[in-house]
A and B are shown apart, each in its own frame.
Chain A
Amino acid sequence: MKKIPRRDLLKLGVIGGGGALLGKHTAEALQARAASVPGSYPIQEAENTLYSVCLQCNTGCPIKVKLYEGVAAKIDGNPITPWTMYPHLPYNTDLKRMARVDGALCPKGQSGIQSVYDPYRIRKVLKRAGPRGSGKWVEVPFEEAIREIVEGGQIFASIGDTRNYPALKDYWALRDPKVMKAMGKAVDAIWAEKDKAKKKALVEQFKVDFKDYLDTLIDPDHPDLGPKNNQVVFSWGRLKGGRTDFFKWFFDSGFGTINQHGHTTVCQGSLYFTGKAMSEQLDFDEKKGKFDWTGGKKFYWQGDLSGAEFAIFVGSNVYEGGYGPPLRVNRITQAVTEGRLKFVVIDPRAQKAVAHAARWIAPKPGTDAAIALGMIRWILEQGRYDRKYLSAANKAAAKSVGEPTWSNAAWLVKLDDKGFPAKLLRASDLGLPAFQKTVKDTAVEFDPPIAIVKGIPTRIDVQSEEEAVVGDLFVNTTLNGIRVKSVLELIRDEANKESLEGWARIAGIQPEDIAWLAYEFTNHGKRAAIDIHRGVSQHTNGFYNVLAWYTLAALIGSHDWQGGLVQNSTYDILGEKAEGPFFLKELHPRKLTPFGISIIRHGVKYENTTIFEGYPAKRPWYYNASDVYQEVLPSAAQGYPYPVKILFHYMGSPAYALPAGHTQIEAMLDPDKIGLIVASDIVVGDSYAYADYIFPDLSYLERWEFHGSHPNVIWKTQPLRQPTIAPIPETVKVFGEEIPISMEAMLLALAEKLGMPGFGEQGFVGGLPFKRPEDFYLKMVANLAYGEAKDGSKAVPEADDEELEYFAKARNHLPKSVFDLERWKAAIGEAHWRRAVYVMNRGGRFEDFKKAFLEDGTVAHKYGKQVNLYLEKQAGAKDAMTGQPYYPLAAYFPAYLDSTGQPIADAAEGYELNLLTHRIITMTKSRTISNYWLLNVQPENFIAVPTEDARRLGLRDGQRVKVVSKSNPEGVWDLGNGQKKPMIGKVKVVPGLRPGSVAFSLGYGHWSYGAANIEVNGKVVRSDPRRATGIHANAAMRVDPVLKDVTLSDIAGGSAVFYDTKVRLEPV
């Protein structure tokens, strides 16, 4: 029987044919297989199994890819990891056994091969052949695209556009690391100077000091905008470890732009940034050279389900979304059926988890803080809080009571004349001496905070392990003429602002629910978990909702306890802990250190900059947050604080993903506003439909990445994504090497063309080459294998000969452009090879099951630090729109405010339904519409309408309605170029939704991604109607009435706002 080699078939299928897909495996191999014995089941054999990581959603479940002649045939869970098994198999399980045991994955994980072998995947660089968003493309040679990006000019002349497009080389303006560093320092000094005149003088001095380099600056009169390098922006959607570091190597160390922004705020931003504020430590700040708040981590806690007896899921879609179903659901169902766990769902929507919940509580959207404060009030009144935990005011005190963490509940706060808790009370306020410390042989003073200990104001040596300060909890007094209150007292004040009934009324629930929740929550010692997610954080009051729930958690101090609040822990891949074997930080030969105000204006106090112009600022500044996704494109289009010349965008879809996503399209349409847009995707997605170039990327089954972990995984892990199938994009030559087109190939080629240090023959310090992706990633694998001990005592075992053999056999189908045994070995050297193979054979590194639990009931990988309930740093910064300081405590603020904090009153204009959105387990935002298997489970989404509202509004099941809002009264997606897509969906009347709300699920309603015809090389690529079904109502979400070009945002926490918009449904 003659078979067409499969690669030819694929040629037919993928946009832009040509090139080998299957590498070494051709017709002979297929025929050999055809002759194989009946009863054979090759896909379950160890030599046909490769281990990697799912990326169908961000949970990143470790997977095994079962191969059939080089084609991914089936994906299952890697059984040695906590994601897919509970308990998971030990790390040293041998490969044959690993191959035989399949771990569980969610349906998206199962269907991944349809994402990868998607007929709409692109294989060559696409360049637009019409105006942005016109849907017209031509395939261009990779080298040509690289040249055009680097050199700019009239690159769109062929379509009659004679604009001069910016050249990347021109914006790689400041290239001297020393100068950049010095400038950065000088800018810090300018910012630190409060006096206006002196500030001005410092700017003048700057111009003198750097007179030879002024042309490299965006604006020499405002040196704090930074160098022109900052006018090149790199923004991304989903990006994980390893690739992050690779891209940083280029954009940060190599190119020197401050503008590298992720998507956190579209995701669960305020969760992270509240976590950051709560994890700031009063400690020695090396950068500032003094004791100050420092080291806040962008992170958050989740509930540990391995030990919880009671769990509250607040706005956390635990069965269908979150991080993630395969790893949490089995724990819950097991414990619930055995009666070991009781859990509650707080969500206006009856998500699937209510099936097994002890209670479903459906609050008014945006009022979660009210529930938390009501619970806090009840708990404080009943005295059912952990007094021992809360009184511990420093590390030593925590230690003395066996607590891994402590809080600042007992610390004293000064009230200013308006009664605002403006600052901590410090020793100096009372005339008490500062602590004299020696840090790195220099003497430094530390003016410590104060707690009342048995009536005596006592200085707190926060990080001391010896001198315990056990403070009084409720203090309300005047010291030295200063009005002070303890933090817990302030929290009690907040909680007492309403009665239990009052809080219940705000949240639209029963007081009894609050009391019951509070009772149950305080009835399980440390084993009561709180798990909050997007439903809490993505409101205009997201930051304070999160703070309120985390404050509540602190009342029982369950942090780091099994069953309580836990954090993420991953193995280091950068060689930082062991300072080797490949200490990447030190391997860059000429590292730039970017400085300046970012395009999203984050991490800087507006009032300290030279572009301060009073309040309100032109746009919000994000002192607390970073990765403010929604701000990147509109700010760039507006040119505030400066114009953007070239935008690189990777694996994101801001137009689809963001609320009011049409404003993101608007921002991209005009090349005069954003000079050049270069995107990396696997298809022509809904946002990159507006790019100038789309570079095809390697999908998750084709590339390297270190996916990392999530807070609810208490085991230390590092899942490794690695090439498992031959690359689908075309192969190109960079630095003389054959590699598939990918984000890496693009950056390597740009670096080659620019002559950027850090790449090429001498890419790494010590003369090691950096010419291929593996040159970089394998070093990280080696680091991971080596472990975090300098002496190598934490290394993984070495692969034996049999494992080496499996390693090679299982990769036999990979073409040389991806896998070459000798070259791979050379990238890290013989000494590290066997251990690296051990890691790669197992798809990463995973701690054994038992190691995560300690005898005392705490988890092994601890946060182990202070938990801030009062946020002094926030109180000391101002909201750039109002000029008011950020509120430093858990508090209830109503949701649905504009960027200047004014309430939005759309309901009065007849927009009375609260629009909600959520995940379903079969869909991941804009990425799974290609998964036809999943589409059969749910081919389209709908607009869920509560029974009561449907009756009132006369809406029936299946009826088509348009979603309209104040900022989108037409109810359309304005796609630019005169094209509009109405936001019409089908009604589904459901009992499980709080009356007054409507909801749609994420993942449908596409306008690109194969949902519309496009033209490539003058030929039409026909769309697939299955990809165009359903509704995506993000464009109905409220545009900020002040800014007018972006969604509503939580100014404190950065979150884009998804759940506050009021809409109307218009039958069509």
Chain B
Amino acid sequence: MSRTVGWILFAILALVGVVGVFLRFTSSRDLAAYGSYIPWGLWVATYIFFAGLSAGAFVVAVLGHVFGVERLRPVAPLALAIALACLGAALVTVWFDLGHMERVLNVFLRPHFSSMMAWMVWLYTAYAIATVLALYGLWRGLPSLTRIALMVGTPLVVFYPGAAGALFGTVVAQSLWHSPVFPILFLFGGVLSGIALVTFATVFFSRKDKDYTDRVWLLGRITLGLLLMYLLIEWAEYSIPMWYQVGHEFEALMGVLFGPYWFVFWIFHLSLGMIIPILLLALWPRNPLAVGIAGLLASSMFLSVRLNLVIPSQVQPQLEGLVNAYRDRRLSYTYLPTLFEWSVVAFSVALAIAIAYGVVWFLNREKKLEVTQ
């Protein structure tokens, strides 16, 4: 029954996604709401969202296989499947965002070493290879390959969300991005959201073996710890520029908190993405349902963090009055993703699910591993 519902939901998601992608290829980006003053929108946010998820998921496998947290070992295949799926979704989303999708290989053909974006792509590539190898090791029953791949992947998983953070953090022009905490924040956020996602998946989709509840408890605890630490960092991130209530960053942050999209912060991020999961995890640490829901909320709501990271900085005009100097819908400082943009995101989500499902299904079929129930 629930399986059917799942399938129906997936089918809808996929259908919407396919329509979105079709539109993306036919009507170019006509229907997107981003422009030149807010050049990066939902897709870029989705991309870093998925990238973070991927990293966090990978960390679970690393914990299990490299750091010897035995209890997490059984979910390593699931975690790696999720990591691969999210990475795929991330890359596809950002690929859709390019003005010249056909030239994406230029990143390899014309590498530009000063660009954080270039570095990020290369790190991704390396990381993707590590993930695939680790999975290959699991599939083939080559634990040392998995271990080595995961060990190699460990610094990558530290660097690439860091690089993603640096991609923003190095942009002098954007006062809200231009902050040394950014790489750390990215890393943390990624790990948090990814582990939360694995927690969710573990609760609902993993085999309920004897360690199931312990594993869930452990994942819940890790998630809770990360949530609390994230709150702390966020407090630092917000309180410093807010202190004297002047400057660009202050204005941008005020926009985040009390601007037209205040609910993104207060409702999606803080309430649904943080407080409720924290409460669930703190009050019912051993209740898998509570932990699972907390995981789902903490991971999925993290998109709001990514949105709040990408958009508000751009909403601040670099030059006062520029917006009135030449007017066009592409030259505006307001941004609300269009249905079209969401539909492309739907595609990415569907794609991620498909990849994860596919990998798991493949691993299951081989009977070598029993990843899920």
Q: Which residues of A are interface residues toward B (Cβ below 8 A)?
A: 936-939
Contact = CB atoms under 8 A, between A and B. Distances in A.
B103 interface: no
B327 interface: yes
A939 B325 CA distance: 11
Nearest to B331: A936
Contacts of B325: 937
7 contacts: A936-B326, A936-B327, A936-B328, A937-B325, A937-B326, A937-B327, A939-B327
Contacts of A939: 327
Contacts of B327: 936-939
Nearest to A933: B326
Which 8 pairs, one residue from A and one from B, show the smallest C-beta to C-beta distance?
A936-B326, A939-B327, A936-B327, A936-B328, A937-B326, A937-B327, A938-B327, A937-B325
Interface in B275-295: none
A1028 B325 CA distance: 21
Contacts of A936: 326-328
Nearest to B324: A938
Nearest to A939: B327
A937 B327 CA distance: 6
Interface in B308-355: 325-328
Contacts of B328: 936
A355 to B, nearest CB: 15
A937 B322 CA distance: 11
A938 B326 CA distance: 7
Contacts of A938: 327
Nearest to B326: A936
B146 to A, nearest CB: 54
Nearest to A932: B328
A937 B326 CA distance: 5
Contacts of B326: 936-937
A938 B327 CA distance: 7
A936 B328 CA distance: 6
Nearest to A937: B326
A934 to B, nearest CB: 11
A879 B112 CA distance: 82
Given A936-B327, A937-B326, 6 more contacts: A936-B326, A936-B328, A937-B325, A937-B327, A938-B327, A939-B327
A788 B328 CA distance: 52
A412 to B, nearest CB: 60
B251 to A, nearest CB: 19
A824 B328 CA distance: 46
B324 to A, nearest CB: 9
B109 to A, nearest CB: 23
A937 B328 CA distance: 9
A939 to B, nearest CB: 5
B310 to A, nearest CB: 26
A76 to B, nearest CB: 21
Nearest to A935: B327
Interface string B12-30: 0000000000000000000
Contacts of A937: 325-327
Nearest to B328: A936
A963 B371 CA distance: 72
A886 to B, nearest CB: 48
A938 B328 CA distance: 10
A937 B325 CA distance: 6
Interface string B159-198: 0000000000000000000000000000000000000000
A937 B331 CA distance: 12
A936 B327 CA distance: 5
Nearest to A940: B327
A405 B288 CA distance: 103
Nearest to A938: B327
A938 B325 CA distance: 8
A331 B326 CA distance: 27
A848 B325 CA distance: 38
A495 to B, nearest CB: 45
A189 to B, nearest CB: 64
A217 B20 CA distance: 75
A939 B327 CA distance: 7
A840 B169 CA distance: 61
A942 to B, nearest CB: 11
B322 to A, nearest CB: 13
A1 B260 CA distance: 50
A631 to B, nearest CB: 40
B156 to A, nearest CB: 44
A168 B198 CA distance: 89
B98 to A, nearest CB: 26
A936 B323 CA distance: 11
B35 to A, nearest CB: 13
A905 to B, nearest CB: 39
A583 B325 CA distance: 52
A108 to B, nearest CB: 16
A1007 to B, nearest CB: 23
A666 B326 CA distance: 38
